[in-house]
Structure formats: structure tokens, C-alpha cells
Homo-oligomer: A and B are copies of this chain.
Amino acid sequence: MNWDFDGNLPIYLQIMQTIKTSIVSGRYGPGEKLPSVRELALDAGVNPNTMQRALAQLEQEGFVFSQSTAGRFITKDRQKLRQLSQELAVQYIRTMVESILALGLPPEQIPLLLEEYLAGRSGDRPASPTGPR
């Protein structure tokens, strides 16, 4: 996973984001076992408690479940996973909209820019998702 923290948000929230993205992108499939808290903490370079907190929160949100001695697993609930995709998509939308509004552009222009981009994109090379910030 791509552990890359900045100082703008608590680390455990950023961890949750990273894991959510990993799940949705198919890095971990439904029912698949996650590495142990300690392993993940080591990998991410954070304290096991911080990782534990992130995972406990993900568990409470229903995206993973734990079997006391066996470890933690991605939920098998496909509906839940679809919900996660939507949630992340809305986050991306929100970040984009608020950033553009901060530029001083009017909201009505956003759908136009989107349409234009999508039109120009069809047939093009995939284009790597490296934008601003």
C-alpha cells in the first residue's frame, strides 16, 4: 500500500483512507485476510496503536471484520463494498469542486469542464492521474 502521510489530517484517518482505497481498487478482495496490525504498523511506519485505531474504526464502519485469533478480513458484503466505492468517489468529487470554487470559478462551469474533459479523453491514452496537489 501507498503510505504517504501529510500533516493536514490525523494519521489514523489517512490510514483508513489508504486501506479503503486498497480495498476498492481490488488490492484486497472480499473476505481476504489483511496483514496483522503489527505488520501493517511496521509497513506504514506508525505505532501499532495508531494502526489498531484505524482498523477498529474501519471495523466499526463495517468494511472489515476481525476473528479474535485469526486476524482481520475484508467484508464479504458486496453491497458494502459498492457503498465504499461511492463514498470514495464522492470524496474525490468534493475535493475537486471545493478546489475549483476556491479558484473563483462559478459552480455552473464545473459540469461543462467535466464534459469537455471526458469528451477529450475518449480514445486518448489513459493519462496518469497526477494533477495538482
Binding site for B on A (CB under 8 A): 4, 6-9, 13-14, 16-17, 20-21, 24-26, 85-100, 102-105, 107, 109-111, 113-115, 117-118, 121, 126-133
Are B4 and A7 touching (Cβ within 8 A)? yes
How many copies, total?
4
Contacting residues, chain B, for A109 (C-beta < 8 A)? 89
Bound-complex Cα distance A118 to B106 (A):
12
Contacting residues, chain B, for A96 (C-beta < 8 A)? 92-93, 95-96, 131
Bound-complex Cα distance A105 to B110 (A):
20
Please, could you name 6 A-B residue pairs with CB atoms under 8 Å apart, sorted by A?
A89-B113, A93-B100, A95-B131, A97-B117, A97-B129, A99-B129
Are A17 and B133 touching (Cβ within 8 A)? yes
Identify the closest chain B residue to A94 (Cβ): B131
Within the complex, the shortest CB–CB distance from A128 to chain B, in Å, comes to 7
Which 6 A-B residue pairs are closest in the complex by CB-CB distance? A95-B131, A98-B129, A96-B96, A91-B131, A91-B132, A92-B96
Contacting residues, chain B, for A111 (C-beta < 8 A)? 111, 114-115, 118
